[in-house]
Structure 1
Amino acid sequence: MAAQPPTARDRFWWAAAALVLLGVGTFRAAGWLFVLCVLGACVAGSLAVLGRRTGRGLAHDMVAVPLASFGAVPWAFSGLREVQSAQVSKVRRFGVSVAVTAALLVVFVPLLGGADATFAGLLNGLAPTVDAATAWQWILLFAVLGAGALGALYLLAGPPARAAEASRPVRLWARSEWVLPVGALTVLFAVFLGAQFVALFGGDDYVQRTAGLTYAEYARSGFWQLSAVSILTLAVILAVLHWSARDTAADRRWLRILLSAVSVLALVIVCSALARMWTYQQAYGFTVLRLLVTMCELWVGLVYVLTLVAIARLHWNWVPRAAVGTALTTLIALALLNPEHLVAERNIDRWAKGERLDTAYLRTLSPDILPALNRLPTPMRADIETPIRTDLDADPWWSWNLSRSSAR
C-alpha cells in the first residue's frame, strides 16, 4: 500500500507552522533563536510540500525541498528549451532591445549629467547608494529563496514516486527474544528510581554522605546521563514495537504490559532529569543553554506520552510525524516564552534573594533582556545595557525587529 499524500489540512498546518517560525525574527532579537526557527521553518515547509502521512520516508520529506533544488535547475532549463521557436525569437528580440536601451543610457546619462549641475543633482537623488555587503546579502537571499521556490515547484509539478509500503512489516523477534532485554531494563529502571527516591527524601546530608557531593553538584552530575538513557530507551521501545511478533493475544498483551511499564519508568527518569536541571539552575543560575536542554528534555517526555498511546494501539507509524510536529510546536513555545528575557528574569530573581548575578553573561545576550533589567539598580543596569545598546543601529525595513526597535 502506497503512502498517503498529505491532505489540504496537513499542508495548511505545516505551512502555518513555517510562517509562524519565520515570523519569530520580527519579534525576538536573539540570533540563535532565529536560526533555529528558520531551520524549523524549512522542515515544516518541506513537509507542507511533500509530507507523507505515515512515518516511512519522513526523514527524506523533511529535507525534500532543499534536495529537490539541485534537480530543479536542469528541469527548469529543459522546460525553457521546450518553448516554441517563435516565442524564443520574440524573447531574443526583446532582449536585444533592452540591451541596446541600457547601452544608450550608460553612454548618454553621464554625458548629460556632466553638462548640467542641476541635472546631475537630480541623478544623484535618483541613483541609489549601493553597499557591497548589503548587495551580497540580497544576492544570497535571492539565491536561497529562488532555489527553495524552484525546488517546491519541481516537487509540486511532478512529485517523486513514493516508496511502496508493505501492508505489514516483517516481524523478526519472537516474544521469547525481546521479553528478556525489555524485562531487564524494567527491573533496572525500577531499582534506579528507588535509589532516586531515597536520595530525594534524604536531602543534602544524605547525598554528601553517600556521594561526597552537594545536592546541586549531584544534580548536575547525572543530568546528561539520564538524558542519554531516556533517548536510548525510546529507540529500544520503538524498535521492539516495530519488529516484535504480535500474532497471538498473549504476544499483544505482553507487548502492552512490558513496553508500557518501561515507558512509564523512563518517563519518570525524564522527570528526574528535569528536576536535576532545575535544582542545578537554582544553585548556579540560569543560562540559554540550560533552558534549551530543558526544553529538549520536555519534548522527549512528550514523545514518551505519544509512545504510550502507540503502545496501547500497537500502531506506531504516526509517531515520527507527530514527534516532528511536537518538536516544531515546542520551538514555537520557546519563542513565545522569550527565552533570553526569561533567563534574565530568573537570574535577577536569584539576585533579589541574595545570590550573585553574572552580569558578564547578561551582557552577551540580545536586547530581548532589556525590559527585565528595570528591577536592577541604575549602575548595575547601565553596566549590562551599555554593550547591548552599542550595536543598536537603525534596522532597514526588511530586517525590522520589534525588540531592537523598542530598545532604541
Structure 2
Amino acid sequence: MAVAAPPVLLRPLPPPKSAVVPMPPAVLPAAGLAGVAGALVLPVDRPGVGWLLSGLAVAAAVFLADRRSRAAGEPGPFTWRSAGWAVLALALLAVGAVRASGWLFVLCVLAAVVTGSLAVVGERTVNSVLYDMLALPVEAFRAIPWVGRGAGRFTARRDGVARRIALAVLAAAAIVGVFVPLLASADAAFAAVVDALIPELGVATLVRWCTVFAAVTLVVAGACYFLAAPPQRASADRPHRSRYGLEWTVPLTVLVLVFSVFVGVRLVVLFGGTEYVLRTSGLTAAQYARGGFWQLCAVTVLTLAIVAAALRWAPDATRADRLRQRVLLGTLSALTLVLVGSALSRMGTYQQAYGFTVLRLLVEVCELWFGAVFVCVLASLVKLRSAWLPRAAIGTAAAALFVLAVLDPERLIADANLDRAAAGKTLDDHYLAGFSADVVPVVSARLPEPLRTCVLRQVLRNDTPDGWPAWNLSRSAARDVTLGPVAGCG
C-alpha cells in the first residue's frame, strides 16, 4: 500500500530590504540637490575642479541626510576611520583640479569610488571585502525601487509639500529664464559672466546633465539605503584553527629555504659578483634586469597570496602553532622584502637602458605597494590579528596613488627621459608628445627649438577652452606658454 508523501512546506522568501525599510524624508531632497550640483559642475570629459565640488556635494548630502534621518541622540555610523576614508576620496578627486593626465585621473576616480564606499560602510561587514569596496555602486542600483517607493509616498502626501516645492522650483526657473536674458542683453560684461557660467544648451548638454543627475542622485540614495539598514558587522573574534599543521608547515619551510638561497645568491652578486653573472650568462646588464623583473613580480604576488592564505587558514590553536606561524611567515615576509628591493633595482637598470614609460613607473609603484603590504603583514604577526590587513592594503594603495599624483608622474617620466638624452641616449620625442599638459613646463624649459615647439604643439593639439567647472591648473598654465615657428616639425 502506497503511503502518500507528506506535504513540503515552503518557507516564503523574505521581502527585499527596499520594501521593508522606508525611505527617510530627508533622502530625496538631499539626493536631488546633490544630483543638480553634479549635473551643473561635473566635467565628464576631462579632469577639472568640478569633480572635487561634486564629491563634496555627495559627501555633504549623505552626511546631512543620514543625520536628519536619525532620532535625537542616536549615534551615527561615521567614525574617525570613516572621515579618513572620505578625506582620502576627496583628495583623489582633487587631483583633477591640478593634474591634466587622463590615465592618472581615471585611476584616481576608481580609487575614490573604493575609498568612498569604505567611508560609508564604516566597520567591516559580514560580506566580503569586495562588497565593502564596491558598496556605493552596488547599493546605488539596489536603491532604485527604494527611491521609487519613497518618491511615490513623498508626492502623495496630503499636506501638498511636493506640490509647493514643484511650484517654487518652476517659479524660480521662470524668473531666471526671463530676467537673465534681459540683463545679459543690457550689459556685455554681465553677458560674459553668464556665458562663462551657463554652457550653450543643446541635446548633448541636456543628455549629459540628465545622465550625471541620475548617477549622482543614485549614489547618494545608495549610500543612504545602505545606512538605513546596514548589514551585520563582522565579529573581531575568530575561532582558533587546529587542523592541517603539517600541511602548512612543510611547504612554508621549503619556500623559506628557497628564498634564503636566492637572497644569498643576490648578496654575492651585490658584493662583487655582478660581472661574473653577466659574463657567464652572456647578457648585458639591461637584458639581465629585463629578464628577471617580471619573474620577481610574479613571485611577489604569489607569495602575498600564500601569506594571506596562511593567515586565514593555518592552525593557531596552540602556543606552538602561533610561534611557528610567526617565525615562518615573518621570515618569508622579510625575505620577500629583499626580493622587492631586487626587483626595483632591476627595473631601475632596465629604465636607464631603454627609457622611462608610464607602464614601467606604475609597475614600480606596484612593487613599492607590495613592500608596504608585507610590512603590514609583519606588524600583524605581533598579535596574530590580520582582520585589518585587507583595508590596510586598500588604504596604502590609494595613498600611494595620491602620492604619485602629487609627484606629477608625467613630469617625472619626461625629466628622466630628458636626463637620458642629455647623457647621449636616444630621446623618443613621439612618446613625449603623447603626454598631457602636465609635461609642458619641463618640455618648455629643457627642449631646444624647433623640437620644443613640435612637441608642445602635439601636446596641446586637442586643447579646448575650459568652462569654470573644468578648470585645471596644468591646462591653464600650459596656455600661457609661447610657441615658436612651425618650421622644422616633422
The question of a shared fold, defined as TM-score above 0.5 by the shorter chain, is answered with yes
Asked if residue 352 in structure 1 is aligned to residue 403 in structure 2, the reply is: no
Residue 305 of structure 1 aligns with which residue? 375
Distance 2:324 2:173 in 1: 78
The Cα shift of 1:166 comes to 7.8
Matched residue of 1:206: which SS? Answer: helix
1:66 pairs with 2:137: yes
Q: In the alignment, which residue of structure 2 is the partner of 1:153?
A: 224
1:283-306 deviation per Cα after TM superposition (whole angstroms, max 9, x unaligned) = 111111111110011000000000
How far has the Cα of 1:7 moved from its partner?
4.9
- State the partner residue of 1:45: 116
Q: Is the 8 A contact 2:124 2:233 kept in 1?
A: no
The letter of the residue matching 1:215 is: A
Q: CA RMSD in A?
A: 3.2
Which deviations, in whole Å up to 9, do the C-alpha atoms of 1:126-179 show, x marking residues without a partner?
Answer: 9973244333333332222122111112112x1332165483246264432211
User: Which deviations, in whole Å up to 9, do the C-alpha atoms of 1:87-115 show, x marking residues without a partner?
Assistant: 37674698699999999xx9xx9xxxxxx
Runs of 4+ with >6 A deviation: 93-103, 125-128
Distance (whole Å) between structure 2 residues aligned to residue 358 and residue 171 of structure 1: 57
8 A Cα contact 1:6 1:53, kept in partner = no
**Equivalent residues in 2 for 1:28-39, closer than 5 Å:** 28-39=99-110
| Paired amino acid for 2:121 | L
Aligned equivalents of 2:155 and 2:421: distance in 1?
74
CA distance in structure 2 between the partners assigned to 1:238 and 1:298 by the alignment: 18
Equivalent residue, structure 1, for 2:432: 362
Select the structure that is richer in helix.
1
Query: Once the 2 structures are TM-superposed, how far is the Cα of residue 205 of structure 1 from its aligned partner?
Result: 3.9
* Matching residue of 2:482: none
**Cα distance, 1:56 vs. partner?**
6.5
**Separation of aligned partners in 2, 1:13 and 1:316:** 20
CA distance in 2, matches of 1:276, 1:371: 30
Amino acid across the alignment from 2:284:
T
List gaps (5 residues or longer) in structure 2.
Answer: 1-75, 480-490
Alignment partner, residue 248 of structure 1: 318
After superposition, give the CA deviation of every residue in 1:322-381 in whole Å (9 maximum; x if it has no partner).
Answer: 111111110110100100001001111111111111101000000101111212212121
Q: Distance in 1 between matches of 2:240 and 2:322?
A: 16
- 1:195 paired residue number: 265
What's the offset of the Cα at 1:65?
1.2
Correspondence for 2:90: 19
Q: 1:401 aligns with which of 464, 472, 476?
A: 472
Residues 58-86 of structure 1 show CA distances to partners (whole Å, capped at 9, x for unaligned) of 32111111111112111112123334845
Distance 1:92 1:172 in 2: 65
Q: Is the 8 A contact 1:55 1:321 kept in 2?
A: no
Structure 2 partner of 1:266: 336
Q: Is the 8 A contact 2:242 2:317 kept in 1?
A: no
TM-score by structure 1 length? 0.87
User: For the structure 1 residues 6 and 226, does the alpha-carbon distance in structure 2 shift closer, same or farther, using more than 3 Å as the test?
Assistant: farther
Aligned equivalent of 1:133: 204
Q: CA deviation at 1:200?
A: 3.9
TM-score normalised according to structure 2 size: 0.73
